[in-house]
Amino acid sequence: MIDVVVLFFLLGVFARLVGSDLRLPEALYETLSIYLLLAIGLKGGLELSRQPLGALAPQIAACMALGFAIPFLLYPALRALRLGALDAAAVAAHYGSVSVVTFAVAIAALARAGIEHESHAALWVAVMEAPGIVAGILIARWVQRRSATAAAPAAGGWGALAHDVLFGKSVLLLAGGLLIGAVAGDAGVAPIEAVFVTPFKGVLALFLLELGLVAGARLAEVRRFGAAVLAVGLVAPPLLALLGGFTAVLLGLTTGGVAIVATLAASASYIAAPTAMRVAVPQANAALSITAALGITFPFNIVIGIPLYIELARAWT
């Protein structure tokens, strides 16, 4: 049976397709996103407080390398689909980064299936978010240097871009939650557990309802971009999941850990990456990237992909 939070997402898609006037206030959407990022970070930080960070170094390095490599692997395939060079770089950056909400749905699916996973999995999300964006920006800069007619780089240069990537809302809240959880420990977080731990799945359900509304509105744009965006949104996730799952197996992770890393590799960012790429590569078509990431890949992953990645993990472990 489909997890209840996925049903909330499907309700949002249905509401948009039938032209319902259902809306969530924009301020509530922002509040929910901040809550989820902090809650996921806190949970990972609590687990970090219980074990030495040095033992996790190989996992951290592997996850960062995976996120950095994905855009370079995707870029030639995107160019073969006849996407423009800067558009291909921007789309590749979205898929090199990760979706925190997809991670949360995967955690819920594993819990429902009774499959254990590494308790510090939120750390993988935090370290995978930025490297893919950096790789996408590097590809775009390489393209611009090769083009004699390329527009000038975004104002502010690399310093401003680094600030936006490393101190944007998503990375800052995740990393901040990790640090707070690691420093405070179980005793320090106990007073706020009723706010950040117990209600987590209910808040996730509300957030997915809103994302369903947004994704439903994006479906109309798929026709405008044609077969290329469908190919990216539907074919790339399973292939990237294989790469992520294989990496996790090499690291010796549990079945749940393999499923989570596969899910992260298959996911695409629609919060951090759009913001960073809008600053770094304003010439790229932002609608194309967000349609692929949020309109196609996100629904595919939470409805079909995550169950597939869990079965992949079971087969490989």
163-222 tens-digit pLDDT: 766 676 777 887 888 889 889 988 898 899 899 888 988 998 898 898 888 888 877 777
Write out pLDDT tens, residues 87-108: 999 999 999 999 989 999 999 9
Is residue 126 within 8 Å of 41, Cβ to Cβ? yes
The pLDDT of residue 155 is 44
**From CA 80, how far away is CA 242, in angstroms rounded?**
21
**From CA 245, how far away is CA 251, in angstroms rounded?**
10
Residue 84: helix, strand or coil by DSSP?
Answer: coil
Q: 86: which residues sit within 8 A by CB, 6+ positions away?
A: 140, 143, 144, 281, 283, 284
The residue ranking higher by pLDDT, 152 or 246, is 246
Confidence of residue 161 (pLDDT cuts 50, 70, 90): low
pLDDT for 256 beyond 90: yes
Q: Please compute the mean of the pLDDT values over residues 115-122 and round it to a whole number.
A: 90
CA distances in angstroms from 231 to 80, 225, 312, listed in the order given: 11, 11, 21
Backbone angles phi, psi at 225, to 5 degrees: -90, -15
Confidence of residue 137 (pLDDT cuts 50, 70, 90): confident
**From CA 88, how far away is CA 78, in angstroms rounded?**
6
**From CA 141, how far away is CA 147, in angstroms rounded?**
10
The residue ranking higher by pLDDT, 160 or 17, is 17
**From CA 199, how far away is CA 192, in angstroms rounded?**
11
pLDDT for 148 beyond 80: no
The pLDDT of residue 34 is 87
pLDDT for 131 beyond 80: yes
Backbone angles phi, psi at 154, to 5 degrees: -60, 145
